[in-house]
Structure 1
Amino acid sequence: MTAHFDHTIIASLDPAEMASFYLDLLEADEAPSWGPFQNVQIGGGVLLQFATPPTEFPPQHYAYLLDDAHFGRAYAKLVQAGRDHWADPQRSRPGAMNHEHGGRGVYLLDPSGHYLELITRSYL
């Protein structure tokens, strides 16, 4: 395998708010921002770039693999903030986490309405 994921642009209603949200929840690192982009960096050097697109955008799905301790901190933040979250992508199990694939997982919406999945075990 020679390809590695480098960066993505995430459509944002408020790029600064999105960068702040991801910095806190994912315990990301600050990264230099330029032009229309508010940037943060996550594990593996992956750059998340938040920008407002010129037109409306459909929500996307982004899954993040966290270690157990990080997941615990992130989940505690969700609960403490009273943020809606679900154990399943269909949102039929509100206020809960799942224990699938030998780990823990939770689904939530970010400030721009994208579907986030936080998991402690990869599906592979």
Structure 2
Amino acid sequence: MTIQFNHTVVHAVDRAESARFFTDLFGLPDAVPFGPFLAVHLANDCSIDFAQAGGEVAPQHYAFLVSEEEFDHLHGRIQELGLTHWADPRQQGVNQINHNDGGRGVYFCDPSGHFLEAITVPYGGWPQR
């Protein structure tokens, strides 16, 4: 099968603020204007396209698989900014990380209330090779 995920649109209260928040925390290049969107490009030819919401934003969940080094950067920025974060999706383990599947993970919210997750090992662990 050759199907690949290409992009998703994330509605934001302030698309520029949300895009800056995301690129800063994840250590990514600045967002690029693309029509009505601010596109943040990820390593696997995928993008997150921030769109200005015309009203209230319904919070969504977005999870990202990151390297150990990227996790260090991300968690460091979360701590520097004093952002509340959690070890699990039930928002328990306040200001802690988890060590699920032999990796590390953290949950936190973006400026629009979306629930973001970063993990260093996929759920269930790495496939046997």
Normalising by the residue count of structure 1, what TM-score does the alignment of the two structures yield? 0.93
Per-residue deviation, residues 89-121 of structure 1 (Å, max 9, x unmatched): 001210100000110000000111000001000
Return closer, same or farther for 1:31/1:56 CA change in 2, 3 Å cut-off.
closer
| Structure 2 SS opposite 1:69 | helix
| Structure 2 SS opposite 1:83 | coil
- One-letter identity of the residue aligned with 1:66: V
Decide whether the 8 Å contact of 1:26 with 1:42 is kept in 2. no
Gaps of 5+ in 1: none
Instruction: Please say if 1:92 is aligned against 2:79.
Output: no
Distance in 2 of aligned mates of 1:44 and 1:5: 9
Equivalent residue, structure 2, for 1:102: 102
Structure 1 residues 38-117: aligned runs within 5 Å: 38-117=38-117
Indicate the percent of aligned positions where both proteins have the same amino acid: 41
- One-letter identity of the residue aligned with 1:110: D
Equivalent residue, structure 1, for 2:127: none
Gaps of 5+ in 2: 125-129
Deviation at 1:52, TM superposition (A): 1.6
Deviation at 1:81, TM superposition (A): 1.0
Deviation at 1:31, TM superposition (A): 4.9
Deviation at 1:75, TM superposition (A): 0.4
Distance in 1 of aligned mates of 2:47 and 2:91: 28
Equivalent residue, structure 1, for 2:24: 24
Distance in 2 of aligned mates of 1:31 and 1:56: 23
Distance in 1 of aligned mates of 2:27 and 2:76: 13
- One-letter identity of the residue aligned with 2:44: G
- One-letter identity of the residue aligned with 2:36: P
- One-letter identity of the residue aligned with 1:71: F
Distance in 2 of aligned mates of 1:90 and 1:123: 17
Decide whether the 8 Å contact of 1:29 with 1:42 is kept in 2. no
Per-residue deviation, residues 3-49 of structure 1 (Å, max 9, x unmatched): 11101100101111111111111222335313321111011011111
